[in-house]
Amino acid sequence: MLPNSQSESFTLRNQPPLSMNIKILVTGGTFDKEYDEINGNLYFKETHIPEMLRLGRCTVDIEVKTAMMIDSLEMTEENRESILDYCKQCEEEKIVITHGTDTMEKTAHVLGSANLRKTIILTGAMIPYKFGSSDGFFNLGSAIAFAGTLPYGVYVAMNGRYFNWTNVTKNKKTGVFEEISQ
């Protein structure tokens, strides 16, 4: 079990499940932030992924596991190694990881360098889900679809596109992920 992980898993099983099992590993990031109207701060309470899957009427066999709830700027190399260990031990070959966008590339590099025989998709959001106008819904759906169709490897999925872990960067000026070679 990962440090600071919740022992409960939420399994969403709608009918009929497709012939793929996907594990969603929650690590925090903007995806799951809440807004404190009194203090004006963003904070973590619990993941919104099960709610998003229900609202999106997802029919894919998915298990959600919360590993940690942290901002990616606070993610350490030890946290990244824990994510890698989890992916290694995970029975599923298709894994979606919700992650903060600021250091998603670093985690993708750690996972990609391990050369696992799994399809791992990292995704996130620029706007918290609870704000109502979040890109998180679209990114999560895209990541699930990419997990089910892409070959083994590590990818970043944002804004309807996927990128190989060796060729992706977050453009800090536009807030959009793009290929490094652009």
The whole-number pLDDT of residue 51 equals 81
The whole-number pLDDT of residue 94 equals 96
Q: Closest Cα partner for 162 from 139, 131, 182?
A: 139
Give 74's contacts (C-beta < 8 A, 6+ positions apart).
Answer: none
Sorted by where each starts, the structural domains of the chain and their CATH numbers stand as 9-178 (3.40.50.1170)
The whole-number pLDDT of residue 34 equals 67
Whole-angstrom distance, CA of residue 146 vs CA of residue 168:
16
The whole-number pLDDT of residue 182 equals 55
pLDDT below 70 — which residues of the chain?
Answer: 1-20, 33-36, 42-44, 128-131, 182
